[in-house]
Structure 1
């Protein structure tokens, strides 16, 4: 019975651990590895000495994520082209109370902003502001003084607030953008799409050196619209378009006809006026293989 209870404790905490690990690492595969390593330590631990199981699991998982993040740093520095977080399927229902919070903490723009923080800033901010872990527990997890953890969170907030990535764009606006984007690609009619873009919009693609993709991001409305109409219109005409909620926002995937193969995933970032500031196109097949799975 005790083993069953311990397994149940871990399973109940697993979703939160996976969500924390994914936000720290930006990779679902690495997040699952961190959670699995946490489970192995939990299985071997003397659980009679653990007074707060969820706090213990969160500490172990966070520390493992920080180890993995340090190991991942070199590979991201040497990455071919632009590195983007692994996209995940996150169904959003209009009117759901936590929809805006989910959108704000899982968007690609938010995860890329976290990449600019130090590992401990990232962990401290996520633990406190997203998962509501109190400072004394964060201090124990990061093996720092509580005052140092408060400073980490304060510095992280400044960076994130400057990036303006934690606001929610109305779903109607997102759906309007998707329709205009599809029209621009499939028919070459780009006027409605261009009207929804900010003047300094950026477009980035991640091929991971595995498939053709832009090595550097495009900047500016004219360059982005030309690429979408001329390049994507030529190569994406025969793909099947599937609307999908990606990282807390409306997005889409393109599948190859007759095969269960996702060849691209497209997601967007918006400013507080609802204009598109960033377009993210994932082409790396290693990051597309499990996009149909649901993860929070």
Structure 2
């Protein structure tokens, strides 16, 4: 069997494995391509089972890819520096109004109307003024995709709805994290909580 025939035969199954593991069409295609490039550079006569070799290779590449993304996000979160983003919050006297009720109601509305990824992008962009480049690094989403998600979130929030009712268990913890981020600059922990709310495979989709 020629190299071209082997690639044509096994490409569908390798691509299927890659897309299921990484959840991104673009990344899956790159991983499969790298797998075949590696296969073309080795002594193929030493491979007893070509299909098993290719499947093992693409699986390992997917795992390495996911680990690299996770490490990249952790490194980014560790280096976050709120800087001047929090000055306007520090200058505000939160004691002048019922902070818990006002912010709690707003966060519950976000939780009820938005998907986790939409909520995370909306809060970081609209409240903390994150650049789209930062959002791209945190969520591994293209900048244009982040803009679309923000627009979708705004559309959902603009729709009329009945007053929401607080029902989710982690609301108090989330509220404390939000206020802590606004007042003390502990942004890394809060961003981590937003990222952890997002289903991993959904988070990987471009």
With the shorter chain as reference, the TM-score category is: 0.3 to 0.5
The structure in which a higher percent of residues are helix is 2
**TM-score normalised by length of structure 1:** 0.29
Q: RCO higher in 1 or 2 (8 Å CA, sep ≥ 6)?
A: 2
Which structure's residues are more often strand, by fraction? 1
What is the TM-score normalised by the length of structure 2?
0.40
